[in-house]
Amino acid sequence: MRYVIFGRQGAEAIESEFLNLVDLCPFLVADRDRYDDEAVYVMLKKHPHVASLRHSFRCGVGNNIRPLAVVIALGGSLKVIK
């Protein structure tokens, strides 16, 4: 991943990319299969602030919740959660 945009626009691009990784429905097998634990881990290592974002996920798992709750529901590894 390489970002050529800096400042707030760059932060929004990072946040958007992270949310694209985790805005999945844990109730759907296809979404659980699409979950990429390693990509989420790499994103969190590089940009830990994205774990504190609050988001209303498309699947209705909660309004204004932190993405790690969805990562857990998707079967995220302990490595990612730590």
pLDDT-derived band at 7, boundaries 50, 70, 90: low
Average pLDDT over residues 38-53: 94
Across 25-34, 43-52, 54-63, 68-77, least confident range: 54-63
Average pLDDT over residues 53-82: 87
pTM of the model: 0.82
pLDDT at 22: 94
Cα torsion 73, 81, 46, 7 to 10°: value is 60
